[in-house]
Amino acid sequence: MSDFTLATTSDGSFSLHESKLDELYHNRAGAFTEAMVTYVQPASQYFQERLTNGGSLRVLDSCFGLGYNSLALANHNQANERISAKVNLNIDAIEIDSSVLELVPQVVKQPCLRDLCALFESKAVNLADFNGGMIELPEIRFKVYVCDLRHFLQEAQCENAGYDIVFHDPFSPKKVPELWTIELFQHYHRLMADGGVILTYSTASAVRGALLELGFKVFRTTALGGKVGGTMAIKSSLDEVNIGHGDCILPLSNDELKRLATSSRVPYRDEKLNAPKEQILLRREVEQKALLNNSGAQQIFQVD
């Protein structure tokens, strides 16, 4: 379980600092701002046609934490009457730490989520249900699973999934590589609808390399604070994908492509989704050294 303390971010929304890993749960520029810039805005650009014309969106929120990503998406849709009247959100949220989930009601009551909070109040929603329960309204459904993400993905069946959006938001790859392996992303691919997207804050080449190896189309998202942006990966059977109109989704830069042509692209591996952190890190290091020794050069991959 996490060992955390409360922290206020620059936009006024609160976050947590995890003491054992010495990491903030969110970008210092703002917990809510990060949710909007890294997750909600790119998803809204990509799915703008569906949001305009109506339909449903199935979301898997991995490492739900304080819930900002899905809550911000629901709040964004609720604030727009044209969307809220047409689009249903079905959200499966995965979080291992119930003590963090106990704080979600406080998150909902912040001014940045006022439209969603007003909806919940009008429907007399029990916000305690965010801790391992279900909240079901005509326009929004949250099902919160208190469990290990790796176990959830291994047991999830395709017929119950068809996710349009995956919000992937664990702690950083170097701190918890077990949640950034190519095998974990392969389970996402299995459970996603064609045309579905993964959104994450990480721009690590090991992460993007894994996504490219699995056949995802990989883009970057808007920069926030001192970071260069995030990553969006699209599962598509088409050669070309439509990313919608807007400036939230961008092609990878030349520098990013160059890094993906080196051994930094080697993914984290964990075939049985049960290996410890140290083993995963060591295996990647060994694989990187072997590739460099065999190639005799840094640039060893061909990037399309």
pLDDT at residue 300 is higher than 80:
no
Q: Which residues of 160-192 are buried (b: 16+ CB within 10 A; e: fewer)?
A: ebebbbbbbbbbebeebbbbbbbbbbbbbbebb
pLDDT (tens digit per residue) in 197-232: 999 999 999 999 999 999 999 999 998 876 778 999
Contact 194, 236 (CB under 8 A): yes
With tokens 């894994």, the residue in question is: 210
Closest by CA to 188, choosing from 69, 98, 87, 273, is 273
Measured from the Cβ of residue 54, the count of other Cβ atoms closer than 10 Å reads: 12
pLDDT reported for residue 96: 95
Give, in order, the Cα–Cα distances in Å from 96 to each of 58, 63, 180, 238: 21, 7, 16, 35
pLDDT at residue 57 is higher than 80:
yes
pLDDT reported for residue 221: 97
Between 17 and 183, the more confident residue is 183
pLDDT (tens digit per residue) in 161-205: 799 999 999 999 999 999 999 999 999 999 999 999 999 999 999
pLDDT (tens digit per residue) in 264-298: 999 999 999 999 999 999 999 999 999 888 865 45
**Residue 18 pLDDT class (50, 70, 90 cuts):** confident
d(CA 69, CA 31): 9
Measured from the Cβ of residue 136, the count of other Cβ atoms closer than 10 Å reads: 13
User: Number of C-alpha atoms within 13 angstroms, CB side, residue 245?
Assistant: 2
pLDDT (average), residues 27-55:
92
pLDDT at residue 25 is higher than 70:
yes
pLDDT at residue 249 is higher than 80:
yes
- pTM: predicted TM-score of the whole model, two decimal places: 0.93
Domain ranges of the chain: 28-295
d(CA 268, CA 192): 21
pLDDT (tens digit per residue) in 115-165: 999 999 999 999 999 999 999 999 899 999 999 999 999 998 876 679 999
Fold of 28-295: Rossmann fold (3.40.50)
pLDDT (tens digit per residue) in 85-126: 788 999 999 999 999 999 999 999 999 999 999 999 999 999
